[in-house]
Amino acid sequence: MSDSSKIHVAIIPDGNRRWAKRRLLQPWKGHEEAVDNFRTLTDWCRQDGRVGTLTVWCFSTENWKRDPEEIQRLMDMLERYLKNERKSLVEKKTRFLHSGRKDRLPPSLVRLMDEVAEETKDQTGFTLHLAVDYGGKDELLRAMRKLDKTEATEESIRAALDQPSVPDIDLIVRTSGEQRTSNFFLWQSTYAEWLFVDKFFPDFSDLDLQDAVDNFAKRTRRFGA
């Protein structure tokens, strides 16, 4: 399958804390389970071949309202994940990208994300795109601040986004039964197909993702025509 025919799938991995609560566990235990599941889903995308880009929303601009201990543990998990996957990203021909703010994240995590992005920038087999401290409105505000008002065209705004090389999203999957867009990639999701799944993210399997991609392939996308 050519790169141009591959799709961009984005996941809002909702329900990690509720998954943990039902098992009488601390909230971060749900995030730990989610990281393991995320690794499985990423491997499936690489192997299936129909998905060229996988975007996962790891932490939103609104998530800073959560308990500080939970936030710290989540940041530690993200850093640990990247350290563990760093070598295999190159081996598996995977380009790593980050969207979102960097000024509020732990410096060690920012440094690691920058290093991994640099190390994998020439990989073309697959793109793993993590949204960390990300909000759609925040990204657009930051993009507009880069522009002179007289230069605000569709092309110039896209060029000012966090990752302008990433294609628009084709399919967005939100787990846990929530049915809202929640400020997720407002510009890039203009024509995205949405799928809302009742399962909490730790229970969302590679077979569920396969079913989502299979169903997406059957849809007729008219883009307003």
Which residues are known to be catalytic? 14, 63
- Cβ atoms 57, 10 nearer than 8 A: yes
Q: How many CA atoms lie within 13 A of 110 on its CB side?
A: 9
How far is residue 222's CA from residue 225's CA, in Å, rounded to a whole number? 5
| 142-181: b (≥16 Cβ within 10 Å) or e | ebeeeeeeeeeeeeebeebbbbeebeebbbbbbbbeeeee
